[in-house]
Structures are given as C-alpha cells and as structure tokens.
Structure 1
Amino acid sequence: MTALLEVSDVHVTFDGFRAINGLSLAINEPELRAVIGPNGAGKTTFMDIVTGKTRPDSGRVIWGERSQSLLAMSESQIARAGIGRKFQKPTVFEEQSVRENLAMALKARRGVFSVLAWRAGPQDAARIAELASEIGLAERLAHRAGDLSHGQKQWLEIGMLLAQDPRLLLVDEPAAGMTPAEREHTTRILKSAARTRAVVVIEHDMEFVRRLDCRVTVLHEGRVLAEGSLDHVTRDARVIDVYLGR
C-alpha cells in the first residue's frame, strides 16, 4: 500500500538547535496514529512541517498518489490538498451558533468566488445535521458556540475540520482539559473519523492513547525512537528511559 504521507530524512534547525533530526515516518489512508514523546521531541514541529508552517533544512515530505512535494506548496495549497489541523486550544466562532459554525466550514470548501454567492441548500443542511450527529452536538445546533463546554468546543472544531473533508487530520492533545466522559466521546469521534481518512493524534495522556487502540509512534530528539502498538512501545527500554520513566 502506498502511504498517503511520507516524511523522509527531514532535518530542521532553529538557532543552532536541531528540532528535527532525520525524521522518517509514513501515514496510510485510512489510519489512526498516535504520536507521543517528551517535550521537545519534535511533535509540534512535525505538524508544522506537514502543514507548511515550518520549512525543513533538508529531506522530503511527499503527499498522495501523485507523490506531490508538500515542501513546494504554500500553507493554503496544503490545506486545499486535504490536510486539516486542529490546535490544542479550540478556535470556534463563539458568537455564532453551532449550526452557523458548521455552515461556515462547509462554505470554506467552495473557494473565494463561489463563497460570495453561497446559500445553504438542502444538501448542505443534511450534511450539517450529519456532522452534528457525528460529533455529538445534534441537540445543540441552535446553541451559541461560546456557551458550549470546553469538550463540546473541541468536538465542534473537529466537526468544522471534517466539514472540509480532509484526507489527513492532525489533532493536537484533544483530551487536555476534558472530563472522563468527554474523553470517551472524543475517542469515539476520532476512531469514527479514521475509518475513512488518516487521523494523527499528538497526545501525552497514555490512558487516552490506549483508548485509541492504534499504532503509536514515539518521537525523541527529532526522530522516531520506537513504533508499534502501545504495549510494544511501552515495553521498549529506550522509551521507558527517555519518556515513561520521567
């Protein structure tokens, strides 16, 4: 199977500090992948590279069946190619309703000129209802987004990204600040999304990673230290030494 995303021997240096040091990994489609590691391991920089925010000093980042180089694309071109990113802090339009937030995300798919004449039709309304059901906010469509709980705002932002139909969804620490019930629901959302696309989750919460029940990549000092099931990587003496034992 050809990988959807292939990162090969990537290096990034910031003011003499080597943040990424020969990073190589591949993500398939569909797939759910957790990326873990100590602070400074390169997890955020990895996402910055894939989304075009950071340009590496060397290496290759290849995307899709046509083997396009993401390094030759702008951030907006990368987003249009099908890569969506969710940051740790939810960013929703708080004064708008849940329905309006999802509608704006659907609208954003259509490009600058078509947006100007866009009106929500029956098909869009059905898609909004489907997304709201998928993220567990079907009963909250008319509610102001700012009135949602922290966890519900996280779900809404995931729904807004799903509205853009990405092939790869990058999610940064989704379980942070959530109640146990919210974490359980977030697990279901991410596992459901990963049935039809690639979902990469950056996370520190080992209990949450275990719930995801997926392949795990451990980063350390800007490269892959170990990869496999959670049980496999947590038995690795190097992972215990640099991460779990701390």
Structure 2
Amino acid sequence: MSALLEVSGVSVTFDGFRAINNLSFSIGAQELRAIIGPNGAGKTTFMDIVTGKTRPDTGSVTFGERSVSLLSLSEAQIARAGVGRKFQRPTVFEDQTVAENLTMALKAHRAPWRVLFWKERPEDRTRVEALAQEVGLADHLPRKAGELSHGQKQWLEIGMLLAQEPRLLLVDEPAAGMTLAEREHTTALLVEMAKTRAVVVVEHDMEFVRRLNCKVTVLHEGAVLAEGSLDHVTKNQQVIEVYLGRG
C-alpha cells in the first residue's frame, strides 16, 4: 500500500525545546490510525506541521501520489489539496441550521468570487442531505446548530469537513465529553470514513482507541516510541514507563 502522507526526518524546536525530534512515519490512502502519547509528546505539533500552521526546522512532509511537499504550501493550499483538520472543540455556526452549516461548507470549496454569486442547486441539496445522513444528523437538518448536543456538534463539524472532500482527515480527541451512545456512533463514523480516505485520530482515551481497532502510533518526546496494534504497544515496556504507567 503506497503512502498518502509521508513524514520523514522532521524536527522542530520552540525556544530551545525540541517538540518534534526526527519524526518519521507514513499513513496509507485508506487507513484509520490512532496517535497516542503523554502530554508534550508532539501530537498537536505534528498536526500543526501537516496542516501548515507550524514549519519544521528540518525534514520533509509529502502528500498524495505525486508526493507534493506540504511544507511549500500555505494552510489554505494544504486544505484545498485535501487535508482536513477537526479540532477538539467543535466550531460550528450556532445560529444557523444544520442544513445551512453544511451548505456553507459546500460553498467554502469554491473560489471566493463564485461564492458571491452562488445559488443552491438541487444537487447541492442532495449532497447536504447525504452528508447529514453520513454523520447521523439526517433528522436534524432544520435545527439550529446551537440546539445540538456536544456529540452532535462534533458530527456536524465532521460533516462540514467531509463536504470539502478531504483525502486525509486529522481528528483531535473526538471522544472527549461524549456520552457512551455518542462515542459508539463516533467510533462507527470514523471507521466508515476510513474506508474511503485516511483518518488520523489523536486520542487519550484508551478504551475509545481500542474500539477503533486500528494501528496505533505512540509518540514520546517528539518521536515514534512504538507502533502496531493497541495490544502490541501497550505491552511495550517503554510505553508502559513513559505513558501508561502514569495511571
């Protein structure tokens, strides 16, 4: 399986602190991957580098079959190239309906001058309904986003990202603050999404990671400490000492 994302020899230092230390790993085109590790391990910085928010001191980050360098692109260009990011806190337009939020996400994929003259077409409505169905909000299209539960807002934001048809989706702690039923739905949603794109989940909740049933990368001090199934990495003595042993 060829890699969709290839991170090679990446390092970045902030005020003398090496947040990422010669980091190298790859993600496949249709893969679900969990990234775990203690606070300060470099998980957020890794996502910042991939999305163009932070520039590394050394190394390369390439994306797609043509191995396009993400380090040469702006944040907006990286998003247009097919990289989406879901932050831990949902950011939706609370005064707009679910349908309007998804419709605006469709518009965001167009050139700015086209948005000014944009009018909804039947196929746009069909797409919005399909996105709502995909994330489990088909019955909530007329509701204002502010009325949704925390979990539903998370799904709406995922739907808004899917509207832009990313090939790689970075998701930060999706299970935080969710009910058990919401977590189960989120698990199913992430697993289904990874059938047609790469999905990288940064998570602290080991039970949620176990439900994802995917390859796990453990980061520590900005580098890969261990990689493999959750059972494999949780038996690694170094992982136990630096992460799991902290209780």
Give the CA deviation at 1:122. Answer: 1.2
Q: Which whole-Å CA distance do the structure 2 matches of 1:117 and 1:66 have between them?
A: 34
Give the CA deviation at 1:217. Answer: 0.3
Aligned-residue CA RMSD (Å): 0.6
Tell me the secondary structure at the aligned position of residue 9 of structure 2: strand
Give the CA deviation at 1:117. Answer: 1.7
Q: Which whole-Å CA distance do the structure 1 matches of 2:38 and 2:22 have between them?
A: 17
What does residue 241 of structure 1 align with? 241
What does residue 74 of structure 1 align with? 74
Please list, as runs of the form range in 1=range in 2, the aligned pairs for 1:86-165 lying within 5 A after superposition.
86-165=86-165
Tell me the secondary structure at the aligned position of residue 12 of structure 2: strand
Does residue 85 (structure 1) correspond to residue 85 (structure 2)? The answer is yes
Counterpart amino acid of 1:91?
A: T
Q: Which whole-Å CA distance do the structure 1 matches of 2:117 and 2:216 have between them?
A: 44
Q: Which whole-Å CA distance do the structure 2 matches of 1:43 and 1:8 have between them?
A: 15
Counterpart amino acid of 2:174?
A: P
Please list, as runs of the form range in 1=range in 2, the aligned pairs for 1:166-245 lying within 5 A after superposition.
166-245=166-245
Instruction: List per-residue Cα deviations over 1:89-138 (Å, max 9, x = no partner).
Output: 00000000000000000111112122122111111111111110111111
Counterpart amino acid of 1:57?
A: D
Q: Which whole-Å CA distance do the structure 2 matches of 1:2 and 1:187 have between them?
A: 25
Q: Which whole-Å CA distance do the structure 2 matches of 1:122 and 1:228 have between them?
A: 45
Counterpart amino acid of 2:222?
A: G
Q: Which whole-Å CA distance do the structure 1 matches of 2:4 and 2:136 have between them?
A: 28
Q: Which whole-Å CA distance do the structure 1 matches of 2:176 and 2:62 have between them?
A: 30
Q: Which whole-Å CA distance do the structure 2 matches of 1:231 and 1:241 have between them?
A: 16
What does residue 17 of structure 2 align with? 17
Q: Which whole-Å CA distance do the structure 2 matches of 1:213 and 1:127 have between them?
A: 30
Structure 1 vs Structure 2: percent identity of aligned residues? 74
Counterpart amino acid of 1:192?
A: E
What does residue 8 of structure 2 align with? 8
Counterpart amino acid of 2:13?
A: T
Give the TM-score taking structure 2 as reference length.
0.99
Instruction: List per-residue Cα deviations over 1:58-91 (Å, max 9, x = no partner).
Output: 0010111111111100000000000000000000
Counterpart amino acid of 1:220?
A: H
Tell me the secondary structure at the aligned position of residue 4 of structure 1: strand
Tell me the secondary structure at the aligned position of residue 238 of structure 2: helix
Q: Which whole-Å CA distance do the structure 2 matches of 1:116 and 1:175 have between them?
A: 37
Deviating above 6 A after TM superposition, structure 1's stretches of 4 or more consecutive aligned residues are: none
Q: How many residues align?
A: 246
Counterpart amino acid of 1:187?
A: T
Structure 1 gap segments, 5+ residues each: none
Give the CA deviation at 1:28. Answer: 0.6
Give the TM-score taking structure 1 as reference length.
0.99
Counterpart amino acid of 1:174?
A: P
Tell me the secondary structure at the aligned position of residue 52 of structure 1: coil
Give the CA deviation at 1:2. Answer: 2.0
